[in-house]
Amino acid sequence: MGGSTRNPRVLQGDNASGQSPYQRLSRRMLDISGDRGVLKDVIREGAGELVTPDASVLVKYSGYLEHMDKPFDSNWFRKTPRLMKLGEDITLWGMELGLLSMRRGELARFLFTPSYAYGTLGCPPLIPPNTTVLFEIELLDFLDSAESDKFWALSAEQQDEFPLQKVLKVAATEREFGNYLFRQNRFCDAKVRYKRALLLLHRRSAPPEEQHLVEAAKLLVLLNLSFTYLKLERPTTALSYGEQALIIDRKNAKALFRCGQACLLMTEYQKARDFLVRAQQEQPFNHDISNELKKLASYYRDYTDKEKEMCHRMFAPYNGSTVGEN
C-alpha cells in the first residue's frame, strides 16, 4: 500500500459533532510525544528495529492542510527519494519524533500541532500561522550511522584502537551508503564510499580467529567495486577488483561473473569464457550467467567473421587497373 496525494477520505464526512476533521481523527490516534503534540495512526505495520536517533532515512511523504485535498509538500512521485539524516536534513521536530517510532516498511499517518510543525508564524504563503498539519510517511529504509559518525570523528590513533566489531559495522555502513548511491546511478559517489570501506578494512589487523570476518567484509566491498567500475565502463579496474575477490573466495560465482563481464568488454573472449564457464559451474541455473555466455558466443562469431573477411581481403588476388591507366 502506498501513500496518497489527496487528503485521506477518512477526514471528511459528517461534521455534526462540531469538531473539525483533524479533531475527529485525533481521537483514535496514539500520542507519541506525551503532550498530544504528535499523534500517530499506523496504516501498515513495518518490521525490524525502530529507527535510531542518528540514522539517515529513506522516506516518502505527503503533507496536508486540514481543508485542502492536495498536499502542500510531497516527494511521493520522486523515483528515488533523497537520503536524509535525522537532526540535520529534517526540519520538522514532529516528523523526527514520528520517524523514531517507525520500522522499515511502515506506513503511518501523523498529526503535528504547530509547536511540532511550523510554529506560531507558519510558513507563508503555504502554511498559515498556528496550523496543525497531517503527514503520511512511508519508511522505505534507514541506515544507522551513529557508530560511523563516532568513528570518523576520532584521530587515526584512536581509530586503530576501535573494537573490531565496531570497525566492521562502520565498514558495513559505508558500503550501505554506497549501495544507496549506486541505486541512484551515482556510480562515482558510490565508488568513493566503497573505497572508504575497503581502505578501513585493509588498515585493520585482526587476530587469526577473527580474520575471516574481515575477509568476508572485504569480499562484499570488492564485489561492489567491480560492479561499479563495470557501470563506469572501466573494465580493466572492474577485472582487478573481481580478481581480488577471487583471492578471498576462488569459487565465488558473482566474482567470476564480474570478471567474465569485464573481459568481454575488453574483447578478451577466451578469458571471458573461462570465467563465465567457471561461474556457471558454481551456479548452473543462473540466467544472468547463461545470458552472458550467449552474448559472448554472439560477439565471438561477429569477431571471427570480421577476421575472416579481413584475411580474405588481404590475400585475395588483385585485379584492379594500373594507376593512371585510361
User: Between the CA of residue 57 and those of 114, 167, 193, what are the distances in Å?
Assistant: 23, 22, 17
Measured CA to CA, the distance from residue 185 to residue 261 in angstroms comes to 19
Residue 324 is predicted with a pLDDT of 45
Is 318 part of a structural domain of the chain? no
Q: Residues 169, 27: one domain?
A: no
Q: Three-state SS for 266?
A: coil
User: Between the CA of residue 236 and those of 2, 111, 211, what are the distances in Å?
Assistant: 42, 54, 28
Residue 322 is predicted with a pLDDT of 45
Q: Residues 55, 151: one domain?
A: no
Q: Residues 196, 123: one domain?
A: no
Last residue of a domain, one of 144, 172, 200: 144
Tell me how many domains the chain contains: 2
Residue 188 is predicted with a pLDDT of 95
User: Domain holding 70: CATH number?
Assistant: 3.10.50.40
Q: Residues 111, 208: one domain?
A: no
Q: Residues 186, 268: one domain?
A: yes
Residue 301 is predicted with a pLDDT of 74
Residue among 86, 65, 90, 61 at smallest CA distance from 74: 61
Q: Residues 251, 305: one domain?
A: yes
Q: For the chain, give the longest Cα–Cα distance.
A: 107
Is 87 part of a structural domain of the chain? yes
Last residue of a domain, one of 144, 170, 190: 144
Is 324 part of a structural domain of the chain? no
Q: Residues 152, 271: one domain?
A: yes
Task: Give me the average pLDDT of each 10-residue run along the chain (326 residues).
Answer: 54 61 93 96 96 92 92 87 89 95 97 96 91 96 87 87 91 94 93 95 87 96 98 97 98 97 94 96 95 89 60 57 43
User: Domain holding 200: CATH number?
Assistant: 1.25.40.10
Q: Residues 228, 303: one domain?
A: yes
Measured CA to CA, the distance from residue 301 to residue 131 in angstroms comes to 69
Residue 170 is predicted with a pLDDT of 93
Last residue of a domain, one of 127, 144, 161: 144
Residue among 138, 141, 118, 10 at smallest CA distance from 76: 138
Q: Residues 162, 78: one domain?
A: no
Measured CA to CA, the distance from residue 84 to residue 95 in angstroms comes to 12
Is 319 part of a structural domain of the chain? no
Is 14 part of a structural domain of the chain? no
Residue among 38, 43, 139, 4 at smallest CA distance from 83: 139
Residue 9 is predicted with a pLDDT of 47
Measured CA to CA, the distance from residue 301 to residue 297 in angstroms comes to 6
Measured CA to CA, the distance from residue 210 to residue 6 in angstroms comes to 53
6 is written with which cell numbers? 489527496
pTM over cut 0.85: no
Is 322 part of a structural domain of the chain? no
Measured CA to CA, the distance from residue 247 to residue 244 in angstroms comes to 5
Is 291 part of a structural domain of the chain? yes
State which residues form the domain around 85: 21-144
Q: Residues 120, 184: one domain?
A: no
Q: Residues 128, 246: one domain?
A: no
Q: Residues 253, 213: one domain?
A: yes
Is 151 part of a structural domain of the chain? yes
Stated as kind and residue range, the H or E segment containing 135 is: strand 133-144
